């Protein structure tokens, strides 16, 4: 599809300000960063039934090449509850075999088990964890996501300090 090269951003509703900051990065001509605004495609009204919202989320994710999860303690909790839309989004991402970049809102560069959703561990899924900064998120999308193989080594991976230095952080 024509939108297959896009990024889907998943987040807990409590972290919407961080998502909005990412939309600002997207609009900044000095930051090479692009992703889908999950609320623009197959829009569901607040009054939509949960089944309709889930169907629309699946359609949005079918058009994505990769996922960025905004990781926080709240996101971890919601991702593991089995009932939230964030939980459903991660279920669909793993089902579709999409690469997942876990961007830690607390700035952690070494991954962070306090933010890393257990559902990804339970799914035996290969992810990369980065700090919540546009340069390293873009690096992960350009390098990790392009070479992603869902059957490769499982677990959370992190980049070395040298990689962060390479991207100017």
Tokens of 79: 């991702």
Report the distance separating Cα 148 and Cα 101, nearest Å: 11
Q: Pick the most confident of 4-8, 29-33, 92-96.
A: 92-96
Q: Beta partners for 9? A: 68
Going by pLDDT thresholds of 50, 70 and 90, the confidence category of residue 102 is very high
Is 126 within 8 Å of 153 (Cβ atoms)? yes
Q: Quick check: is 88 in a domain?
A: yes
- In the chain, how many domains are there? 1
Rounded to whole angstroms, how far apart are CA atoms 12 and 77? 9
1 inside domain: no
- Read off φ and ψ for residue 78, nearest 5 degrees: -65, -35
Question: Band of the pLDDT at 74, cuts 50, 70, 90?
Answer: very high
pLDDT band at residue 106 under the 50/70/90 scheme: very high
Q: State the CATH number of the domain containing residue 113.
A: 3.40.50.11200
The whole-angstrom separation of Cα 64 and Cα 74 is 24
pLDDT at 47: 59
- Structural domain including 53 reads 6-166
Residue 32 lies in a domain: yes
d(Cα 87, Cα 137) in Å, to the nearest integer? 22
Find all residues with CB under 8 Å of 124, minimum gap 6, and list them.
Answer: 154, 155
Would you place residue 4 in the very low, low, confident or very high pLDDT band (cuts 50, 70, 90)? Answer: very low
Strand order in the sheet with 64-71: 6-10, 64-71, 100-104, 126-131, 155-158
Mean pLDDT value of segment 98-121: 86
With respect to residue 39, please indicate whether it lies within any of the assigned structural domains.
Answer: yes
pLDDT for the residue 30: 81
Query: Are the beta carbons of 114 and 76 closer than 8 angstroms?
Result: yes
């Amino acid at each position: 599809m024509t939108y297959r090269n896009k990024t889907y951003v998943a987040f807990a509703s409590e972290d919407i300000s961080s998502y909005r900051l990412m939309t600002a990065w997207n609009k900044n001509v000095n930051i090479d960063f692009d992703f889908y605004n999950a609320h623009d495609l197959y829009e569901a009204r607040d009054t939509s039934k949960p089944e309709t919202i889930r169907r629309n989320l699946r359609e949005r994710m079918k058009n994505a090449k990769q996922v960025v999860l905004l990781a926080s303690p709240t996101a971890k909790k919601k991702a593991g509850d089995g009932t939230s839309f964030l939980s459903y989004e991660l279920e669909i991402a793993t089902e579709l075999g999409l690469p997942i970049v876990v961007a830690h809102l607390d700035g952690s560069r070494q991954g962070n088990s306090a933010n890393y959703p257990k559902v990804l561990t339970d799914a035996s899924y290969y992810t990369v964890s980065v700090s919540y900064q546009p340069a390293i998120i873009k690096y992960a999308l350009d390098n990790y996501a392009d070479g992603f193989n869902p059957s490769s080594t499982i677990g959370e991976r992190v980049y070395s300090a040298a990689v962060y230095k390479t991207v100017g952080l």
